[in-house]
Amino acid sequence: MKKRILVLEKDKQLGNLASTILAVRGHEVVYDSSCQKAMEFVTNTPPDLIIVGEQMSDIDGLGLIAKVRDENDEIPIVFVARQWRDEDFYRMLREDLKVSLVAHRPLRTSVFSAQLFGLLGSNYDSPFSGETPLLDASSAPVPLPQTGSGDMTGMPSSVEFDKLKIRFVKSIPDRLGKLGTILNTLESGIQNTFLDNAITIAHNLKGTSLSWGFEEMGRLAENMERMLKLCIGTSGEVQRDQFQLCLPLYTHMQEQAELIHAQYSALTDTASNGDADGADENDGAVAKVLVVTDQPLPDARGQTDTGLSLDFIQTRSEDALIKASQMNLDAAIIEVSASTRDASLVLARELRDISGYENLPLGFISDAGQTDDRAASTHAGSSLFLERPLEPNMVRRVTSQLIAMREGGRFRVLVVDDDEDLAALTCRCLAQFGILARFVLDPLQVMTVLSEFNPDLILLDVVMPGMSGFEVCRALRSSPRWRDVPILFLTGQTDLNSRLTAYEAGADDYLPKPVINVELLTRVKVRLERSRELKERSERDMLTGLLLRRAFSEQVNSVIAECQRYDFKFSLCLMDVDHFKKVNDTYGHTAGDDVLATFGRLLRKRFRVEDVRGRWGGEEFILAFKHEKKEVMQVALTRIMEELKQIEFHGENDEIFHVTFSAGLASFPDEAENLQDLVKVADRRLYLAKERGRKQVIIED
């Protein structure tokens, strides 16, 4: 029977996920972020289920739940939390607010689906069965076991360790089976002393998992142990409300056990068989590319010349969005034909609308000679066209370039070492944390590979032919583009003078060989996370997520240098929101901020990953479109205008209003040869657009 589900959160990704899960069963999903609207729904047409996130546009999630409970005490409520809390928080949700289920981000679609259908009273046959998609891209793959020093792959250094490790992996299902039997017995209502046995199983699983490096399983087991202890009442009885929190946690443990077994088995098989052909699906260093086509695709899997592996996942257009939500993609390529052109463009935009994929690199496949609609494809975000017939080496080469365009996403590490075996093993070690890693053997090629790969961190050897690591480090520190990238030396030279020279050259850290696996991973991971956080804070506007003026100018000046070197062209656009002061005065500054934030998100999702987007100041935005003429971008920007006009905004008194923008375009080098002059030309045309009635894009004086 069709049910009505109300999803309440400011971030639309929760509503998108709920729609993806429930729409396939014919249920109706209503999304809103306003407390007033939510209470109107609850009062007038009570839904069958309410899903609440932590933050609404005008109230927090807990405050909203309290208001709902004042009005209706019966509607099942799911609360989606961003992090684990203490036991008092969960007890308050259960006892005071009568929340039926607490879920935690990142949400796994298979688990969340089962929980929702259980609350709705439906039999669950998930289209995501066997999959573990995430609501966002923030989670890394399961870390594999770490052992002795010098073991760069994470594989044990002795046969005995291998046997012990494999035996533990095989024991996990049996341990969880015993734990599940006890939980089922307790759930049936029988009062017994089995709870202590369950606590013991969880405690042992926690300790052994953490000892072998299975950190996620260890964390889940630790949470299970803590939750089970809270289930014991003062008289020895099982606390039913607290016990209910253990059930979804157990489901997560089962899911994690499947991941551990699959991932560990794959890597041990690879280690046993030597070099395997093609990419290993469970290797975190494999770049995953979704290819949407019904036609045969040549087998282009395998490694590029510098060690980055590619894996192509082929799917049909009707399954593409679900498939994309089930994995952490690095790029997508979509088939475009005369009959599917419009649908393919829509699919491209929908892929970029998925949370975490705002800057997903996109490419199109088309038959030779097919017309390339530059404006439509640029608006949809396509960075390249592949023409059939496809040749595997060409597909690998251009796909590797496509992946390199992405900023954000999975962390990238470049390993510079003339020892190919050690470089490859280091990449495999980093892959265990979901890091995309590739190596370069010749230090003289570093600058070229840097531009292709755009790494977040560099691991650098000292002693190499042609150019020492110290010299490479100094060269990078003298480059405006790479002066801030973290550099870690990984070398056998451990004397004091070498260490001092490394730091004087500009290194951030120094690790002697052989390095203990967990130490390398920990230092790299900490540096990566800290570096990205600092970069985001210093370069991006917090409200819109776009580059600040300084960062935008630096990137565009690099584009100008590239265009001068290769005789390329590009277009620059200056735009601002029409009547923005009126928006603030009429609807309030909160509504004005919402307009800017929404417009910023729209600009991030559209266009190509290599295009540069910035907030120039106030309500002004600025964009640079590489290799595109202003005539093409005028059409693409008009498409953005139509999208923006369809978005409903709400004032502080819940008034509904719409906005538009005006824009001016300038071309390099025809109309100006530096950023300052390009901005002047674009600004002049922006004012012309305003004088001529606004909501238009001007390309000529």
CATH classification at residue 77: 3.40.50.2300
CATH at residue 553: 3.30.70.270
Percent of the chain with pLDDT over 90: 27
Look at residue 134 and tell me if it is in a domain: no
Task: Tell me whether the omega of the peptide bond preceding residue 514 falls within 30 degrees of 0, making it cis.
Answer: yes
Asked if residues 531 and 509 have their Cβ atoms less than 8 Å apart, the reply is no
CA distances from 370 to 386, 387, 672 (A): 11, 9, 33
| Tokens at 685, concatenated | 């045309």
pLDDT category at 138 given cuts 50, 70, 90 is very low
Lowest mean pLDDT among 335-339, 394-398, 425-429: 425-429
172 and 254 assigned to the same domain: yes
Task: Kindly state whether residues 529 and 456 are assigned to the same domain.
Answer: yes
Q: How would residue 114 be classed by pLDDT, with cut points 50, 70 and 90?
A: low
Q: Which two tokens mark 1?
A: 């029977």
**Quick one: average pLDDT of 365-388?**
78
Give the mean pLDDT of 114-137: 49
Q: What pLDDT score was predicted for residue 226?
A: 84
pLDDT, tens digit (0-9, with 9 covering 90-100), for 150-167: 333 333 333 434 555 676
User: 567 in the Ramachandran plot: left (φ > 0), alpha (ψ -120 to 50) or beta?
Assistant: left
At 487 the pLDDT is 94
% of the chain exceeding 70 in pLDDT: 81
Q: Is 563 in the same domain as 670?
A: yes
For residues 9 and 107, state if they share a domain.
yes
Highest-scoring range by mean pLDDT, 444-453, 559-568, 618-627: 618-627
Mean pLDDT of 528-534: 83
Identify which has the larger pLDDT, 498 or 509. Answer: 509
Task: Note the pLDDT of residue 575.
Answer: 96
* Gap between the Cα atoms of 123 and 121, Å rounded: 7
Higher pLDDT, 303 or 388: 388
Supply the Cα-derived Rg of the chain in whole angstroms.
Answer: 27
What is the tally of structural domains in the chain? Answer: 5
Please report whether residue 679 resides in a domain: yes
Show the CA angle centred on residue 90, arms to residues 84 and 92, nearest 5°.
140
Angle of helix 159-187 relative to helix 246-273, nearest 10 degrees? 160
Q: For residue 336, give the nearest of 327, 324, 345 by alpha carbon.
A: 345
Q: How far apart are CA 94 and CA 91, in angstroms?
A: 5
State yes or no: pLDDT of 348 exceeds 50.
Answer: yes
Q: Does residue 264 have a pLDDT over 50? A: yes
Instruction: Flag whether pLDDT at 341 surpasses 80.
Output: yes
Task: Please enumerate, as own/partner, the contacts of 9-13 that have beta carbons within 8 Å and a separation of 24 or more.
Answer: 9/33, 9/51, 9/52, 9/53, 9/54, 9/55, 9/56, 9/61, 9/80, 10/53, 10/55, 10/56, 10/57, 11/53, 11/55, 11/355, 13/135, 13/136, 13/354, 13/355
Q: What confidence score (pLDDT) does residue 523 get?
A: 83
Residue 139 has pLDDT above 60, yes or no: no
The answer to whether 409 and 330 have CB atoms below 8 angstroms apart is yes
Do 300 and 237 share a structural domain?
no
Average pLDDT over residues 390-419: 80
| pLDDT confidence of residue 616 | 94
pLDDT value of residue 588: 93
Task: Tell whether 229 and 347 lie within a shared domain.
Answer: no
Asked, for residue 284, whether it belongs to a domain, the answer is: no
Does 657 score more than 90 pLDDT?
yes
- Report the first-to-last Cα separation within the chain, whole angstroms: 61
If you average pLDDT over every residue of the chain, what do you get?
A: 80
* Nearest to 32, CA basis, from 659, 643, 648: 648
Question: Does residue 153 sit within a domain?
Answer: no
Q: Report the pLDDT value the prediction gives residue 190, as an integer from 0 to 100.
A: 56
Q: Is the pLDDT of residue 260 over 80?
A: yes
Are 385 and 476 contained in the same domain?
no
Question: CA 446, CA 448: separation in Å to the nearest integer?
Answer: 5
Q: pLDDT, tens digit, for every residue of 277-300?
A: 333 333 335 788 999 998 887 776
Same domain assignment for residues 621 and 657: yes
Does residue 553 share a domain with residue 527? no
Domain holding 619, by residue range, is 549-698
Q: Which of 94, 120, 146 is the last residue of a domain?
A: 120
Q: State the pLDDT at residue 368.
A: 64
The answer, yes or no, to whether the previous bond of 106 is cis (omega within 30 of 0) is: yes
Within this chain, do residues 242 and 358 fall inside the same structural domain, yes or no?
no
pLDDT computed for residue 491 by the predictor: 72
Q: Within a domain: residue 264? A: yes
pLDDT band at 422 (very low <50, low <70, confident <90, very high): low
Q: How far out from the chain centre does Cα 148 lie?
A: 32
Angle at which helices 589-605 and 580-587 cross, to 10°: 130
* pLDDT greater than 70 at residue 585: yes
Higher-pLDDT residue of 41 and 286 is 41
Position 149 confidence tier, pLDDT thresholds 50, 70, 90:
very low
pLDDT beyond 50 at 148? no
Burial of 2 (0-12, 13-18, 19+ CB in 10 A): exposed
The residue-averaged pLDDT of 414-430 equals: 75
Across the range 585-613, mean pLDDT stands at 93
Query: Is 190 domain-assigned?
Result: yes
Q: Are residues 443 and 555 located together in one domain of the fold?
A: no
Please choose, from the candidates 79, 109, 105, 82, the residue with its C-alpha nearest in 3D space to the C-alpha of residue 93: 79
Question: What pLDDT does 421 receive?
Answer: 59
Comparing 367 with 29, which gets the higher pLDDT?
Answer: 29
DSSP H stretches of helix in 45-158: 61-71, 87-91, 109-120
pLDDT confidence bin for 635, thresholds 50/70/90 = very high
- pLDDT of 363 above 80: yes
What average pLDDT does the segment 315-341 reach? Answer: 87
Domain annotation covers residue 130: no
Residue 146 lies in a domain: no
Q: How far is it, in rounded angstroms, from Cα 473 to Cα 107?
A: 41
**How does pLDDT run across 187-246, given as a tens digit for each residue?**
776 555 677 778 878 866 775 676 566 788 888 988 888 888 888 766 666 677 777 888
Domain boundary among the residues 510, 538, 566 is at 538
CATH number of the domain at 199, please: 1.20.120.160
Say how far apart CA 132 and CA 287 lie, in whole Å.
18
Report d(CA 2, CA 225) in Å as an integer: 38
Domain end marker among 213, 238, 273? 273
Whether residues 368 and 425 share a domain: the answer is no
